[in-house]
């Protein structure tokens, strides 16, 4: 069948494409890319039924959408895209290197210094870089991304957030005039941090196993044998709960207010994401467990 393609901005006609009867939205994107506009690779396109309508999913078939011979479809240019994996690698590599660089007490940051950071600052450096090393490894070996790409400008926004916040926190903890807290603060914080990191890793592995390789299947996550995963009985996104816990305990361990600001900013963003995911779960699964909250057990 023949379909006319128009651009969503301004409704300019781009041309016509020939498709088989059982074609999906993905096939439409491929055809637009190959026959009409070489600059619009499939990930860069959003295909819609109307110029300002909803974006159609790749796996939807034209038949189910009632698109027949001679119909019109609109395509929107989403701008240059970059894969999630590359964004993750760039945004997490920064904190690792920036923190370890500031830990050396470089002249550029502190002027000429002869002293070196104390025990608490050294443990903090291990925790911080351990966390981001873990995230890099997870990005490479654990995460399965259901969306392929995101707009390129997100790369700059995300990297700016992580890199600058790292510089800000590291500046205070590695400062020659840094005051370490009492032993109680240090040990409570360190224990909490390590437990939360283990919890976070457990959840990421559980989520990976939830989705069979190469598919976009979605299921309700439930605790497996791992005790850390029992947090799923209380919240929809325990990985975010653990992540926030990590930074809260890191703040306690170092008794550093800027680290607390980082924890608060991260919490706000993760709460927004968690509420969105929680809502999607409830919408998608009618039998979704009632007692679960989004990110904080019993509260939010």
- 31 vs 48 by CB, closer to another protein: 48
Report the b/e string of 122-155 with b at 16+ CB within 10 A: ebbbebbbebbebbbebbeeeeeeeeebbeeeeb
Residue 181 binds another protein (CB under 8 A): yes
Is the Cβ–Cβ distance between 299 and 291 less than 8 Å? no
Residue 151 binds another protein (CB under 8 A): no
Residue 204 binds another protein (CB under 8 A): no
**Which stretches of 174-235 are DSSP H helices?**
183-210
Of positions 31, 76, 105, 255, contacts another protein by CB under 8 A: 255
Q: How far is the CB of 177 from another protein (least distance, A)?
A: 4
How far is it, in rounded angstroms, from Cα 259 to Cα 40?
42
Residue 257 binds another protein (CB under 8 A): yes
DSSP codes, 221-280 = ----S-GGGGGGGTBS-HHHHHHHHHHHHHHHHHT-HHHHHHHHHHHHHHHHHHHHHHHH
Q: How far is the CB of 173 from another protein (least distance, A)?
A: 7
Site stretch for another protein (CB under 8 A), options 25-33, 74-82, 212-220, 251-259? 251-259
Site stretch for another protein (CB under 8 A), options 12-20, 101-109, 171-179, 230-238? 171-179
Residue 123 binds another protein (CB under 8 A): no
Binding site for another protein (CB under 8 A): 171-173, 175, 177-179, 181, 254-258
């Amino acid at each position: 069948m023949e379909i006319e393609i128009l651009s969503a901005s301004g409704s300019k006609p781009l041309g016509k494409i020939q498709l088989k009867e059982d074609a999906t939205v993905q096939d439409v994107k491929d055809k637009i890319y190959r026959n009409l506009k070489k600059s619009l690779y499939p990930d860069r396109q959003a295909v819609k039924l109307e110029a300002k309508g909803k974006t159609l999913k790749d796996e939807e078939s034209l038949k189910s959408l009632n698109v027949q011979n001679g119909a019109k479809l609109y395509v929107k240019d989403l701008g240059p895209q970059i894969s999630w994996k590359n964004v993750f690698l760039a945004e997490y590599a920064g904190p690792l290197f920036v923190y370890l660089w500031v830990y050396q007490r470089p002249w550029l940051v502190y002027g000429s210094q002869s002293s070196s950071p104390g025990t608490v600052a050294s443990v903090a450096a291990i925790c911080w870089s351990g966390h981001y090393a873990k995230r890099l490894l997870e990005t490479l070996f654990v995460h399965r991304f259901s969306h392929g790409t995101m707009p390129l400008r997100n790369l700059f926004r995300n990297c700016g957030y992580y890199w600058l916040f790292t510089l800000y926190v590291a500046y205070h903890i590695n400062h020659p005039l840094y005051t370490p807290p009492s032993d109680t603060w240090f040990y409570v914080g360190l224990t909490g941090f390590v437990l939360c990191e283990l919890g976070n890793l457990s959840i990421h592995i559980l989520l990976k196993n939830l989705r069979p390789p190469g598919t976009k299947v979605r299921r309700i996550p439930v605790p497996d044998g791992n005790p850390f995963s029992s947090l799923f009985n209380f919240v929809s996104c325990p990985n975010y709960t653990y992540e926030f816990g990590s930074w809260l305990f890191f703040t306690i361990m170092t008794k550093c207010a800027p680290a607390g600001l980082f924890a608060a900013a991260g919490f706000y963003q993760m709460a927004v994401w968690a509420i969105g995911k929680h809502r999607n779960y409830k919408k998608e699964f009618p039998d979704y467990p009632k007692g679960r909250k989004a990110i904080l057990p019993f509260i939010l």
